[in-house]
Amino acid sequence: MHSSSASSTATTAVSEVDTTNTNKEEYKQCDAFFKEIPPHADYDESISRVQRFIENAGAYQRIVLVTSGGTLVPLEKLMVRFIDNFSTGSRGAASTEYFLAAGYKVIFLHRGKSIQPFTRSIPPPLESLEVSVGPCCLGGGVRVKSSDSVKVRKVLEKYSKHKDSILYISFESLGDYLWYLKGISSELNKRVGYRAVIYLAAAVSDFYVPKSEMPEHKIQSDVKPTINLALTPKMIFPLATLWAPKTYIVSFKLETDSGILMEKAEKALKTYQHNMVAANLLTTRKTTVTFVERTGKVARIDNPEEDKDIESLMIGFLQDRHTAYIQTNPSS
């Protein structure tokens, strides 16, 4: 049996590092990436939607950018094949619902076809829908079976309450995602400042195929290919130091090897200078998440009930930490 809710606060030293030398190189790598890979055709229109959403939210409103799902990396220019990862978007979709319930407005930057907030709890239509019968159902409508209707009704009511507080923006590729991350986080930094959270639940590819190594057409199947990957520039560092330094930034570390997880979480905070890492293991990510803060605080969240969302506990904890962050930055 797990202990319930947030617990076991410990302190590890996450010291400041001198970043004056690394600055220029990290920024240059990002600039080079953005020069090589152009934004999506919808980029300008999407950023305009973000600006209107922030404006309509009004002053004093907290806003979170939730990134969700995996980024794909094309292997060909006219894309047929790509490298992807197993991320379903479950974490981001569930977290979005709890951020909304906590009073945040949410920019939901998600992989197309990934799991969606609210929709995730609605049973498949062929199992749950039936043609209406009986004297009061004129014209033969279609309804949700009574065994599912209470559950579906609750979801629809929650969605109806929050639907104006969520802005959906979708991406497919690593390039589209990174352009949106830069553009949206810059808007949040400028217009929302310390009241903004950036919650990086998307699983971003660590590698990509440079345009120079990409064939125009589908790789033919009679040659045995070798794929030379380039490293994706580490965008959290420019995010935290250049694009959105005022915002409260939470990144995720997912590993399969428990031996290196905490070490990697602490190293990420040192290297990227952001606010918090949520560390989890592939096999236990639905029952345990460990939050490591820049301040050195470590808090482990255990989910006592497997049929409940651990994100409910996670967002409650984060909301408190974000409140403390706003209070220490009173100019916001």
Residues belonging to the chain: 332
Beta bridge partners of 64: 106, 197
Nearer of residues 60 and 86 to a copy of itself, judged by Cβ: 86
| Closest residue by Cα to residue 252 from 229, 230, 282, 232 | 282
How many CB atoms are closer than 10 A to CB 122? 16
Chosen residue from 161, 211, 218, 308 binding a copy of itself by CB under 8 A:
218
Amino acid identity, position 153: R
Least Å distance, CB 257 to a copy of itself, is 5
Q: Which is nearer to a copy of itself, 11 or 211 (CB)?
A: 211
The dihedral built from the CA positions of residue 72, 73, 74 and 75, taken in this order, carries a sign that is negative
Cβ proximity to a copy of itself, 55 vs 222, nearer residue: 222
Considering only the stretches 20-28, 61-69, 144-152, 322-330, report the one whose residues sit in contact with a copy of itself under the rule CB under 8 A: 144-152
| Beta carbons within 8 Å of 96's beta carbon, 6+ residues apart | 66, 68, 106, 108, 117, 166
Site string for a copy of itself, 187-206 (x = CB under 8 A): ------------------xx
Minimum CB separation from a copy of itself for residue 76, in Å? 8
**Which of the residues 290 through 309 are near a copy of itself (CB under 8 A)?**
none
Helix (H, G, I), strand (E, B) or coil at 73: strand
Q: How far apart are CA 259 and CA 36, in angstroms?
A: 37
Q: Is 85 in the site for a copy of itself (CB under 8 A)?
A: yes
- β pairing state of 276-281 and 248-255: parallel
Q: Quick one: which segment of 27-35, 36-44, 248-256, 286-294 binds a copy of itself (CB under 8 A)? A: 248-256
Task: Figure out which of the listed residues 257, 306, 330, 331 binds a copy of itself, where binding follows CB under 8 A.
Answer: 257
In angstroms, rounded to a whole number, what is the distance separating the alpha carbons of residues 284 and 1? Answer: 14
Please state, in angstroms and rounded to a whole number, the distance separating the CA atoms of residues 194 and 231: 31
Q: Which of 28, 52, 143, 211 binds a copy of itself (CB under 8 A)?
A: 143
Stretch that binds a copy of itself, among 1-9, 223-231, 296-304, 317-325 (CB under 8 A): 223-231
Of 36, 137, 213, 295, the one binding a copy of itself (CB under 8 A) is 137
* Single-letter residue type at 269: L
Residue 101 buriedness (CB in 10 A; 0-12 / 13-18 / 19+): middle
- Our finding on whether 122 is near a copy of itself (CB under 8 A) is yes
Smallest distance, a copy of itself to C-beta of residue 275, A: 21
25 forms part of the interface with a copy of itself (CB under 8 A)? no
Among 6, 254, 262, 326, binds a copy of itself (CB under 8 A): 254
Query: CA–CA separation, 183 vs 46, rounded Å?
Result: 9
x/- letters, 156..175, toward a copy of itself (CB under 8 A): xx-x----------------
Q: How many residues bind a copy of itself (CB under 8 A)?
A: 58
Q: d(Cα 36, Cα 329) in Å, to the nearest integer?
A: 37
Q: Using alpha carbons, list the distances in angstroms from residue 14 to 11, 197, 314, 320, 328.
A: 9, 21, 22, 21, 19
Q: Is 21 in the site for a copy of itself (CB under 8 A)?
A: no
By the rule CB under 8 A, 224 interacts with a copy of itself: yes
Q: How far apart are CA 142 and CA 116, in angstroms?
A: 24
**Would you give the DSSP letter of residue 70?**
B
Determine, following the binding rule CB under 8 A, whether residue 219 of this chain makes contact with a copy of itself.
yes
Judged by the rule CB under 8 A, the positions of this chain that interact with a copy of itself are 72, 75-76, 78-86, 118-119, 122, 124-126, 129-132, 136-137, 139-144, 146, 149, 152-153, 156-157, 159, 205-207, 217-219, 221-222, 224-231, 254-257, 282
